[in-house]
Amino acid sequence: MLTDMISWTTIVCYSLLYIAVLLLWFPCKLRIPAWSIVFGMACIFGLMSGQIEVYAIFVIILFTYAVQYTESQYRCSKRAFAGLIVCFLAYGLGAHKIPYFCNLKVLSDIYISKEAVPFTLYINFDKTVVGLLILGLTQRLLFHKKEWLAMLKQTLPKIGLLIILLVFFALIADKIRFDPKLPESLPIWLITNLLLVCTAEEGFFRGFIQKNLVAVFKDFRWGHVMAVIIASLLFGFAHYAGGISYSIWGTFAGLGYGWIYQKTNRIEASILAHFCLNLTHFLLFTYPALA
């Protein structure tokens, strides 16, 4: 349920944000990608509704140029510096440390599970910027049916194995309990978790961090493994706000997502793995965490 009365400009702002992410996978023959046009409109309505401030536009522009620079043909040292700027801004945006963004709270302290802590859900404009720009500017995404089917055929068995392993060990460690349910909040959770959360996190940690670490370690025998491990450790650290155990489980999950990304070389595969695990947790076990 919505916690406050929401203005029409705010509704349009976040609706456009969802659509912009979806349009990443829409083949467009225009010189300017459709997703970038819709994202620009989301920013305009964000300014009108007060969801973002003028200074947020400068942050978005800086992040855009930094991401583009990492894909340029300039010297390695310059691209590395641009990469550090991307990491710094991505952390600030993803962790909501950069001001000028007023993310929308849509669920406030509701109980998804009786034995769990209360759950609050925000639609995060700042975090979405990270995934949208990295995926839109640096990744070759899937557009054709044959590509999607091939990816799914290769990925689904790996996702099943990952979910079984993580759920098994989480149950053994008493971090979750079986709690099947179909909450009223499912629709807003579904679209937000898939399009804004999983897309942003996988875009950065796998599509940017892991991808570039593979390039850095390309001459090392175990370079790919090192890239997966480092990206997973950073992913776990990013979840430290939930506590040390949450950070550890995040690291293990990150290893699974990283392994799937490495095997398929498709960011859609790791996004799907991330979402399927989150959905399994949401529907079948105590969510978000045991009290």
Inform me whether the pLDDT recorded for 135 exceeds 90. Answer: yes
Q: Which tens digit of pLDDT belongs to each residue from 168-223?
A: 999 999 999 999 999 999 999 999 999 999 999 999 999 999 999 999 999 888 99
Peptide bond into 288 cis (omega under 30): yes
- With respect to residue 291, please indicate whether it lies within any of the assigned structural domains: no
- With respect to residue 144, please indicate whether it lies within any of the assigned structural domains: yes
Sign of dihedral through CA atoms 273, 275, 278, 279? negative
Q: Which tens digit of pLDDT belongs to each residue from 139-173?
A: 999 999 999 999 999 999 999 999 999 999 999 99
Task: Residue 184: give the domain boundaries.
Answer: 8-284
- With respect to residue 290, please indicate whether it lies within any of the assigned structural domains: no
Q: Nearest 5°: phi and psi at 101?
A: -115, 125
Q: Give the pLDDT of residue 3.
A: 45
Q: Nearest 5°: phi and psi at 106?
A: -115, -20
Supply the Cα-derived Rg of the chain in whole angstroms. Answer: 19
Q: Give the pLDDT of residue 28.
A: 77
* CB burial readout 119-132, b (16+ within 10 A) else e: bebbbbbbbbbbbb
- With respect to residue 224, please indicate whether it lies within any of the assigned structural domains: yes
Domain count, the chain: 1
- With respect to residue 184, please indicate whether it lies within any of the assigned structural domains: yes
- With respect to residue 1, please indicate whether it lies within any of the assigned structural domains: no
* Rounded-to-5 percentages of helix, strand, coil across the chain: 70, 5, 25
Q: Is 211 exposed, middle or buried (0-12, 13-18, 19+ CB in 10 A)?
A: buried
Q: Which tens digit of pLDDT belongs to each residue from 39-91?
A: 999 999 999 999 999 999 999 999 999 999 998 777 788 899 999 999 999 99
